Amino acid sequence: MSRRPLFRPASQRAARHDDWLGQAVLLQPVSMRLIAWSMLAFAACLMVFIFHAQYTKRVAASGLLAPDAGLLKVQSPQPGVIVERRVREGQQVAAGQVLYVVSSEVMFAQEDNRSRGAAAETLGNLQSRQSLVQSDAEQASQVAARENAQARARVASMQGEIAQLDQSLAVQAERLASKQVQYERHEQAQAQGFLSPLALQLKRDELLEQQSRLHDMQRNRLGLVRELAEAQAAVDTAAGKLALARSGYQRQILDIEQDRVAQQTRGRVLVTAPQAGQVTAVLAEPGQRIDGQTLLTIVPAGSQLEAQIFVPTHAIGFIREGDPVAIRLAAYPNEGYAKFEGRVLEVPNATLSKQEQADAPDAAGEARYRVRVGLPAQSIRVDGTLHKLRAGMAVDVRFPQERRTLAEWIFAPLYRLQETL
């Protein structure tokens, strides 16, 4: 009986070869190929986007709206109590227009239990003093005028005496000339023996007497001329004294008037507008005591609103004039209404002082620069209604900083790490 193998011949032949399990068949569906190529294309596009697309870093800063000509904060020149307010919120005022009336008068009690202001008391005393000075000035003027009139009368009288004396001198000169002729004739007669020496001597005595009278009259005239000069000097002196007295009294009156005006200024002060504009932020009311604080604010006429942004020092480096910026108004919560674009007008070279930085919304901490940003319009439209922008509105602004590709931003930490090593 023949032995039969346990396995079939075909299976034994297959076991002697490597392909006993059969051939591997790779299944590659079309969808898998499409997905693979899509992923590859996406990766390529992503790499191109990362190395070519750019992103601008922005920094946010806050500020407020303010006129480009600045805000005029009106204060009283001296402390006191507000008696009257003559303007209202939003009113247009002219330069020099009265805004407030402030009283700084101090009241004190009198013996009759009535109160009277110190300024009024001082003004009364100054008025009395001025009246006395004016009375003294009038009396002094009258006395000086009388002295001047007397001196002028004396001058006129002496001038008349001199004129009469001149006439007498002319007559006396004629008499002397006549006596001189008579003496010469008698002298010739005596020489011819017709006249005795005694008679000639008498004629000579008469001639000498006339000469003596002429000399006396001339001496008197010199004395009158001297007295006339003294009288004229007295007239000039009296006129000078009168002018000096008037000047002195006038000076006293002016001093008193100056004191009176100063006292009135201390009593009532008129606070006026330094420039034409619109009144806003009225803070002081009648009856309120003030001492250096701001009474109201004036927006200068013709000024345009701009955004004044307080930028910290670490963010100022890349800000340039003319850069477009995104502005958002905090007064309007809807971002669609509140956002608009502006441009940087001015970038300062120095930070704000501590006093100036007090106006910043976030004043504490780092020093800041005041950057001016121009607005595209002076109003915004909300739900079809035009709303006018107001000074003092809070704004947030985003400034553009450095611009890099996405790859540079992704690898920036590695760059910084490389720089530190």
| Model pLDDT, residue 109 | 44
Is residue 35, in this structure, part of any structural domain at all?
Answer: no
Q: How far is Cα 120 from Cα 263, in angstroms, rounded to an integer? A: 9
286-323 pLDDT, tens digit each: 988 988 889 999 989 888 999 998 988 888 888 889 88
Task: Provide the 8-state DSSP code for 313.
Answer: G
45-58 pLDDT, tens digit each: 888 777 776 666 77
Q: Which helix (H) or strand (E) holds 14?
A: helix 9-15
Evaluate if pTM is beyond 0.85. Answer: no
Last residue of a domain, one of 249, 275, 300: 300
Helix (H, G, I), strand (E, B) or coil at 55: strand
Looking at the structure, do residues 173 and 207 belong to the same domain, yes or no? yes
Looking at the structure, do residues 361 and 223 belong to the same domain, yes or no? no
Q: How far is Cα 102 from Cα 75, in angstroms, rounded to an integer? A: 11
Looking at the structure, do residues 235 and 368 belong to the same domain, yes or no? no
Last residue of a domain, one of 266, 287, 312: 266
Q: Do 370 and 352 touch, CB atoms closer than 8 A?
A: yes
Looking at the structure, do residues 90 and 232 belong to the same domain, yes or no? no
- DSSP line for 122-142: HHHHHHHHHHHHHHHHHHHHH
Looking at the structure, do residues 230 and 207 belong to the same domain, yes or no? yes
Looking at the structure, do residues 77 and 150 belong to the same domain, yes or no? no
In this structure, of 33-47, 117-131, 263-277, 367-381, the range with the lowest mean pLDDT score is: 117-131
CATH code for the domain in which residue 171 is found: 1.10.287
CATH code for the domain in which residue 405 is found: 2.40.30.170
Instruction: State the CB neighbour count (10 A cutoff) for residue 206.
Output: 15
Phi, psi of 359, rounded to the nearest 5 degrees: -80, -10
- Into how many domains does the chain fold? 3
Is residue 261, in this structure, part of any structural domain at all?
Answer: yes
Question: Scanning the structure block, which residue is given the tokens 């002298």?
Answer: 187
Q: How far is CA 393 from CA 80, 199, 293, 375, in A?
A: 32, 132, 22, 13
Q: Which residue has the higher pLDDT, 315 or 130?
A: 315
Q: How far is Cα 112 from Cα 108, in angstroms, rounded to an integer? A: 12
406-421 pLDDT, tens digit each: 666 676 676 666 666 6
Q: How far is Cα 59 from Cα 366, in angstroms, rounded to an integer? A: 15
Q: How far is Cα 413 from Cα 417, in angstroms, rounded to an integer? A: 6
Instruction: Name the residue type at position 309.
Output: I
Looking at the structure, do residues 173 and 147 belong to the same domain, yes or no? yes
In whole angstroms, what separates CA 348 from the centre of its chain? 23
Looking at the structure, do residues 237 and 347 belong to the same domain, yes or no? no
Q: How far is CA 135 from CA 129, 249, 250, 254, in A?
A: 10, 10, 12, 15
Task: Provide the 8-state DSSP code for 391.
Answer: T
Most confident of 37-41, 108-112, 224-228, 249-253: 37-41
Is residue 138, in this structure, part of any structural domain at all?
Answer: yes
Last residue of a domain, one of 220, 242, 266: 266
Looking at the structure, do residues 254 and 172 belong to the same domain, yes or no? yes
Range of the domain at 409: 50-68+304-416
Is residue 259, in this structure, part of any structural domain at all?
Answer: yes
CATH code for the domain in which residue 74 is found: 2.40.50.100
| Model pLDDT, residue 180 | 77
Is residue 41, in this structure, part of any structural domain at all?
Answer: no
234-251 pLDDT, tens digit each: 777 777 777 777 777 677
Helices (H) and strands (E) counted in the chain, each on its own, are: 8, 18
* DSSP alpha helix (H) spans, 16-117: 30-52
Looking at the structure, do residues 412 and 336 belong to the same domain, yes or no? yes
Q: What's the average model confidence in pLDDT over 108-123?
A: 50
pLDDT-derived band at 114, boundaries 50, 70, 90 = very low
Looking at the structure, do residues 182 and 272 belong to the same domain, yes or no? no
Residues of the chain above pLDDT 70, percent: 74
Looking at the structure, do residues 335 and 279 belong to the same domain, yes or no? no
